Amino acid sequence: MDSEVVRLQADNAALVAEVARLRAALDLRVDKVSAEDGAAAATAKDETAARECEAYCPSHSLSTEQVQRYSRQLLLHSFGPEGQDALARGSVLIIGAGGLGSPAALYLAGSGLGRLGIADKDIVELSNLHRQVIHREGRVGMHKVDSAGEACRALNSQVVLDLHRDGIHPGNAVSLVE
């Protein structure tokens, strides 16, 4: 009788382990399907927004990718494709890639600005990271403009970046803003 109990306990343990393995496999499949559904839904949402924009503003010089990317701001009556075109032709110079300059650079790069200049002579320090959101731990010791440039390029590879490691001073101020 004892051997029968031991055998049943072993069978039970094997079945419990098999159920746990199958549940884990099922969870992985559910997560994969959910991720695929989420990506498909996001793509469908972008395509729908692009079609809505096309209906609202049928003539413009924006590519399909640009319409999808900037669709939320294109739908604003006060902005539209004309505003996006102007933004793409525009340029901004940010003096300092610190507490105010770093989020400004990210927002401008993400918005579709054509050319972004960043002037800063400082180096990324560990004490910058909690308030200068453009920089990362791996960039400590790097020039702030190079760190900011990497972040802006990662967000929008189409933005043209002018990075000025020597900051702004009387000798270069006029040339930076021309």
Domain ranges of the chain: 1-71, 90-177
The per-residue pLDDT for range 28-72, each reduced to its tens digit, is 888 877 777 766 666 666 666 556 655 555 567 788 899 899 989
Architecture of domain 90-177: 3-Layer(aba) Sandwich (3.40)
Give me the chain's average pLDDT, please. 88
Confidence (pLDDT) at 113: 97
Distances (CA, A) of 107 to 2, 38, 101: 72, 25, 10
- Residue type (1 letter), 112: G
The per-residue pLDDT for range 63-113, each reduced to its tens digit, is 889 989 998 998 888 998 999 999 999 999 999 999 999 999 999 999 999
Confidence (pLDDT) at 55: 57
Confidence (pLDDT) at 40: 66
Bridge partners of 92, per DSSP, are 116
Confidence (pLDDT) at 30: 80
Residue 28 structure tokens: 């992985």
Angle between helices 101-111 and 144-155 (to 10 degrees): 30
Q: 34: exposed, middle or buried (C-beta count within 10 Å: 0-12, 13-18, 19+)?
A: exposed
Confidence (pLDDT) at 10: 85
- β-pairing verdict for 91-95 and 115-119: parallel
